[in-house]
């Protein structure tokens, strides 16, 4: 009868454990979905996309100077005092005379057109604007790579904390079952008071561990929501767990890439191209510019503005070509070209640095990957062995052939093995991310 009563208590404790355990959200979200949401909602990515729009708009703006420039002119002048001109002697007499020519009102209306035929500066500005678009694209790619890396780390951290919580719940459940058995043995007189108190303390410690794990899981989930721009009130849970991630690790390997595949390398190349275009712009700034122009206008000249409609207008028109050749600007072009030549040298140095960093980072990442892979395999084997030992020792404890302190040691061995496995898996996943990032594959 007492055994049935104790069994009922155990069942009730298990039910209460599931009731009070955190209920994960109904919506499950994968790592790919997290990355997609994160890139869509990231303030940094959104800002960089605006910068790309600005760069594209600069390309369109750079084309405007090569399109026809048309302007309309309307000019009404009231000559309140006509200009005085001096007629030399001999024209209207033996002495020079001061006379005034003109009308009170001068009305001019016309259209003018200017067309650039060739302008090296305009063409260079267009090429530079196109190169800046490429720079913005590579900046976006680098930013997206960093965002995806941060999201993946946050996602794996949630899986880690969720597994730690599950293990804490399992440990609490086992300690409660052990306490139920200890109660029976204590009442039967086969267990000392100190051993019963020790088991009770283990239950209390397991409850505290579960509470801490619960908080850690909740905080990691909040961090993931912030990383992907999700509302803090939305209820979600990660689609992966320790089992699926362990299965996925079977196909992972350290893949070797090239330095030219890294976004940092491509960004530096794009910036180098911009500097080279500036060098070309100033080196060839001596080239002449050619323009065509035309004008069609009409003048109305009268002392009476009210007669403007009836009196004749005097039309005139002209067209021409203009060639401008810069001759000397105080060496400004040479100084500007030298500045950007030095910028190209800096780009070359940075490219060499990126290549050296690539060799170091890929070598270190691959080594860490292999070490983490080996540690994970050892952790899996250790957890399996610890589970087998605990099952055997629990049977021996039930039969009375094993002391409670020895069973507690076996319980602790399993806890340590589970903790080590979770951490080893997390380290391996991070090592895989670092390999991908080092090789420009994120």
φ/ψ of 332, rounded to 5, equals -65, -40
φ/ψ of 114, rounded to 5, equals -130, 135
Instruction: Measure the CA–CA gap between 113 and 317, rounded to whole angstroms.
Output: 11
What's the angle, vertex CA 337, arms to CA 336 and CA 342, rounded to 5?
Answer: 100
Q: What is the pLDDT along the chain (442 residues), one digit of tens a residue?
A: 444 444 444 444 433 443 444 444 468 999 999 999 999 999 999 999 999 999 999 999 999 999 999 999 999 888 888 888 777 876 666 677 777 777 888 888 999 999 999 999 999 999 999 999 999 999 999 999 999 999 999 999 999 999 899 888 988 888 888 788 778 877 877 777 777 888 788 888 889 989 999 999 999 999 999 999 998 888 889 998 888 888 887 777 767 778 888 899 999 999 999 999 999 999 998 999 999 999 999 988 888 777 777 667 889 999 999 999 998 888 889 999 999 999 999 999 999 999 999 999 899 988 999 999 899 999 999 989 998 998 898 888 777 787 777 877 888 888 889 889 989 999 998 998 888 888 888 8
Residue 226 is predicted with a pLDDT of 93
Question: In 88-131, where do the E strands start and end?
Answer: 97-100, 105-118
Residue 7 is predicted with a pLDDT of 43
Residue 307 is predicted with a pLDDT of 74
The token pair at 367 is 């080594």
Residue 92 is predicted with a pLDDT of 65
The token pair at 423 is 């951490």
Would you call 350 exposed, middle or buried from its count of C-beta atoms within 10 A (0-12, 13-18, 19+)? middle
Instruction: Measure the CA–CA gap between 155 and 149, rounded to whole angstroms.
Output: 10
Which residues on adjacent β-strands are paired with residue 108?
A: 75, 299
- Cα separations in angstroms, 252 against 148, 215, 375, 429, 435: 18, 32, 15, 9, 11
Tell me if 365 sits within 8 A of 438, measured CB to CB.
yes
Residue 390 is predicted with a pLDDT of 87
Instruction: Measure the CA–CA gap between 380 and 424, rounded to whole angstroms.
Output: 9
* pTM for the structure as a whole: 0.77
User: Domains in the chain and their CATH numbers?
Assistant: 2-73+120-290+330-438 (1.20.1600.10)
Tell me if 140 sits within 8 A of 52, measured CB to CB.
yes
């Amino acid at each position: 009868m007492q055994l049935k009563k104790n069994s009922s208590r155990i069942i009730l404790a298990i039910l209460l454990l599931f009731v009070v355990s955190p209920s994960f959200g109904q919506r499950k979200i994968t790592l790919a979905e997290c990355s997609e949401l994160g890139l869509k909602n990231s303030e940094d990515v959104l800002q960089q996309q605006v910068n790309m729009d600005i760069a594209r708009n600069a390309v369109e703006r750079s084309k405007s100077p090569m399109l026809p420039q048309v302007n309309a002119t309307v000019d009404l002048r009231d000559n309140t005092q006509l200009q005085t001109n001096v007629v030399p002697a001999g024209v209207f007499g033996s002495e020079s005379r001061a006379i005034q020519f003109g009308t009170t009102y001068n009305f001019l209306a016309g259209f003018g057109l200017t067309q650039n035929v060739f302008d090296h500066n305009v063409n260079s500005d267009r090429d530079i604007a196109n190169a800046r678009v490429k720079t913005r694209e590579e900046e976006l790619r680098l930013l997206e790579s960093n965002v995806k890396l941060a999201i993946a780390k946050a996602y794996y951290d949630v899986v880690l904390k969720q597994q730690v919580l599950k293990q804490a719940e399992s440990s609490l459940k086992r300690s409660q079952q052990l306490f139920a058995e200890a109660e029976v043995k204590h009442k039967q007189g086969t267990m000392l008071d100190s051993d019963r108190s020790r088991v009770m303390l283990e239950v209390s410690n397991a409850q505290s561990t579960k509470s801490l794990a619960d908080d850690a899981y909740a905080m990691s989930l909040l961090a993931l929501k912030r990383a992907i721009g999700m509302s803090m009130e939305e209820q979600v849970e990660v689609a992966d767990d320790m089992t699926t991630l362990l299965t996925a690790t079977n196909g992972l390997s350290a893949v070797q890439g090239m330095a030219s595949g890294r976004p940092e390398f491509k960004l530096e190349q794009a910036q180098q191209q911009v500097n080279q275009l500036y060098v070309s712009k100033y080196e060839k700034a001596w080239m002449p510019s050619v323009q065509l122009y035309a004008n069609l206008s009409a003048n109305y000249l009268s002392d009476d503005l009210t007669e403007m409609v009836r009196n004749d207008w005097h039309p005139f028109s002209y067209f021409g070509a203009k060639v401008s050749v810069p001759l000397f600007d105080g060496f400004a072009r040479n100084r500007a070209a030298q500045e950007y030549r030095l910028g190209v040298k800096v780009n070359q140095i940075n490219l060499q640095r990126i290549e050296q960093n690539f060799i170091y980072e890929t070598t270190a990442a691959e080594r860490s990957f292999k070490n983490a892979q080996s540690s994970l395999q050892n952790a899996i084997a250790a957890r399996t062995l610890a589970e087998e030992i605990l099952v055997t020792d629990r049977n021996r404890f039930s039969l009375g052939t094993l002391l409670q302190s020895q069973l507690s040691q076996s319980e602790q061995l399993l806890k340590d093995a589970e903790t080590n496995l979770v951490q080893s898996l997390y380290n391996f996943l991070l090592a895989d991310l670092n390999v991908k990032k080092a090789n420009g594959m994120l």
